[in-house]
């Protein structure tokens, strides 16, 4: 999840608006987004949204933050096309607010001058964003690496970054995803050699799963298929839609006759097939998960089919991807990932790439962004070794500059909101806390009826349990729990000022303790008080 606000006395802009992927699948959660109430309370609204590239962790929250934007959304052509698709999916009219930029133009927003500089990443049209402010120049690197592959590397962009560095950079906000990895991140050419070898030696069909937005990798797979005499098919709505968009814009080229319909993929006798499909993270509704479960309506894995995982496993998804590979193995598939062959290289720079970016920009300060805290800390250490002052910040930290110094101001309270599996309902943190508690300790429902004349509960309350631990409970003394709750409720009702709502608030601590003694842990308690 990536979102950074840049604020002066006159102007406030956002750089990126991404979603995150929490390991909360068991609680009905799909993704997380920044809490809009906290952002609105701090900033009010923004003059513009600037986007570095089209990956979901940088554009996925765009539909949800549109209400916070007073101005347009700027990005390169492919990025904005992907954003437009996402906005349309949510029924949002773009209304001319999507403003395409090129890497040889600049724009002015209040007292900020903005420039987009191309960088190499796993999706085309990726950029760094240069922000010239009244106190100095800030550079947000976006996601980047320095790939020596001539198809993607741009000497012009390296020269431009060097020029910006010579002009003076106050602070660089730099991608830290691979800051713990030594050396330089590998090239797509290395992956191509491995994929060509696997396709040439595969005895039957080849299935390759990767991220739907990894346009460079998809193009590489198309080229590999063409060279090794295989037809190409695409499986999964995200993959198909992104390929169609990228092909229309000229970012993907499919040789005539190479792309085949699903009917060809269904043919078990057709050995010369390479199918590119979604689901590399074990997503339960993705194409690969349905194929692995033998539940896909058109495709079935056969013995000797080859399945290649050409994507990294996002931390937290390891269990899901391992289960997916087990399911595929049971169907007889030959499975390859980076543990066996070099079938994926990262789109993020390793230590040598990060040092090279620092040497080009020569910033006074470096603020590590986009990575786990250990990567941020490692990047800060690299900066210090190379003579750059690190500013190590956490989510919500306010990094302040004037013309003479930099410092961390009072942090801004930031929180997460969550989206359900339909990506339609925003779920707050307290709901997740309740779901965790129910999952861990179960639920106890206490139903009781108050006699309005006597203001007492004449009948023992009815107890309903779901998911409580029977191993820990004093099951032989269930009646004792019912009686104890009965006495507790009537004792609370003795105070004639108590209304039912006040009664619940009064008894809840004692009710929780009674349940804890009985079950060995405290389930979520839902008291239901009825009046006859």
Which residues of 370-501 form beta strands (DSSP E)? Answer: 389-390, 398-401, 406-409, 416-420, 426-427, 443-450, 462-466
Residue 25: alpha-carbon gap to chain centroid: 13
**Cβ neighbours of residue 425 under 8 Å, at least 6 residues apart?**
419
What are φ and ψ of residue 288, in 5° steps? -65, -40
Please give the Cα distance from 308 to 321 (Å, whole number).
Answer: 12
Q: Alpha-carbon distance 99 to 51, whole Å?
A: 11
In angstroms, rounded to a whole number, what is the distance separating the alpha carbons of residues 237 and 240? 5
Q: Containing H/E element for 160?
A: helix 155-167
All residues at 6 or more sequence positions from 349 whose CB lies less than 8 Å from its CB, including other chains: 144, 145, 146, 175, 178, 184, 185, 356, 357
Instruction: Tell me the residue length of the chain.
Output: 532
Q: Where are any strands of DSSP class E within 188-312?
A: 206-209, 231-235, 273-277, 306-309
Q: Return the closest-CA partner of residue 238 out of 76, 33, 86.
A: 86
Q: Tokens 């240069």 label which residue?
A: 130
> Which residues are registered as beta bridge partners of 323?
none
Give the bridge partners for 51, in sequence order: none
Report the alpha-carbon distance of residue 417 to residue 31 in Å, rounded: 9
**Tokens matching residue 3:** 């979102």
Kindly list the catalytic residues: 175, 348
Helical packing angle, 237-249 and 215-227, nearest 10°: 90
Contact 353, 141 (CB under 8 A): no
Q: Are 61 and 85 in contact (CB under 8 A)?
A: no
- DSSP-derived secondary structure for 468-515: --TTTS-GGGHHHHHHHHHHHHHHHHTSTT--HHHHHHHHHHHHHHHH
Residue 58 CA to residue 142 CA, distance in Å, equals: 9
Contact 178, 349 (CB under 8 A): yes
User: Which three-class secondary structure state does DSSP give residue 507?
Assistant: helix
Structure tokens at 382: 């690299």
Residue 280, both tokens: 């590399």
* Residue 201 CA neighbour count, 13 Å, CB half: 9
């Amino acid at each position: 999840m990536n979102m950074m606000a840049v604020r002066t006395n006159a102007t406030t802009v956002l750089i990126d608006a991404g979603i995150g992927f929490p390991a909360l699948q068991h609680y009905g959660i799909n993704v997380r987004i920044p809490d809009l109430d906290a952002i609105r309370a701090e900033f009010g609204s923004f003059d513009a949204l600037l986007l570095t590239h089209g990956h979901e962790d940088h554009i996925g929250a765009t539909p949800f933050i549109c209400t916070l934007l007073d101005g347009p959304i700027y990005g390169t052509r492919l990025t904005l096309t992907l954003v437009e698709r996402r906005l349309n999916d949510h029924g949002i009219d773009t209304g001319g607010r999507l403003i395409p930029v090129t890497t040889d133009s600049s724009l002015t927003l209040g007292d900020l001058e903005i420039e987009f500089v191309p960088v190499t990443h796993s999706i085309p049209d990726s950029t760094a964003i240069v922000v010239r402010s009244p106190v100095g120049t800030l550079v947000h690197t976006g996601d980047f690496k320095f790939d020596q592959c001539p198809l993607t590397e741009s000497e012009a962009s390296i020269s431009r970054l060097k020029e910006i560095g010579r002009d003076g950079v106050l602070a660089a906000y730099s991608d830290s995803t691979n800051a713990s990895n030594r050396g330089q991140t590998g090239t797509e050419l290395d992956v191509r050699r491995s994929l060509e070898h696997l396709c040439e030696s595969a005895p039957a069909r080849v299935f390759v799963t990767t991220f739907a937005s990894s346009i460079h990798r998809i193009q590489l797979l198309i080229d590999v298929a063409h060279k090794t005499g295989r037809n190409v098919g695409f499986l999964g709505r995200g993959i198909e839609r992104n390929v169609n968009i990228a092909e229309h814009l000229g970012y993907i080229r499919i040789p005539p006759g190479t792309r085949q319909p699903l009917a060809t993929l269904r043919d078990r006798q057709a050995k010369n097939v390479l199918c590119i499909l979604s689901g590399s993270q074990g997503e339960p509704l993705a194409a690969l998960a349905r194929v692995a479960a033998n539940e896909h309506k058109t495709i079935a894995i056969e013995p000797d089919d080859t399945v290649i995982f050409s994507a990294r496993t996002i931390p937290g998804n390891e269990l899901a991807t391992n289960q997916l590979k087990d399911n595929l193995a049971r169907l007889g598939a030959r499975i390859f990932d980076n543990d066996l062959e070099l079938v994926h290289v990262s789109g993020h720079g390793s230590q040598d790439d990060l040092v090279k970016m620092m040497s080009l920009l020569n910033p006074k300060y470096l603020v590590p962004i986009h990575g786990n805290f250990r990567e941020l800390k490692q990047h800060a250490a690299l900066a210090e070794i190379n003579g750059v002052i690190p500013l190590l910040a956490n989510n919500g930290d306010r990094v302040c500059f004037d013309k003479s110094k930099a410092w961390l101001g009072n942090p801004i309270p930031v929180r997460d909101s969550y989206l359900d599996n339909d990506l339609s309902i925003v779920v707050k943190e307290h709901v997740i806390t309740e779901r965790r508690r129910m999952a861990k300790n179960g639920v106890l429902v206490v139903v009781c009826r108050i006699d309005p004349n006597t203001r007492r509960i004449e009948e023992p309350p009815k107890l309903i349990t779901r998911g409580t631990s029977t191993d820990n409970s004093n099951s032989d003394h269930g009646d004792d729990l019912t009686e104890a709750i009965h006495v507790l409720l009537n004792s609370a009702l003795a105070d004639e000022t108590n209304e039912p709502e006040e009664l619940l608030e009064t008894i809840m601590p004692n009710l929780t303790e009674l349940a804890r003694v009985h079950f060995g842990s405290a389930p979520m308690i839902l008291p239901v008080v009825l009046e006859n």
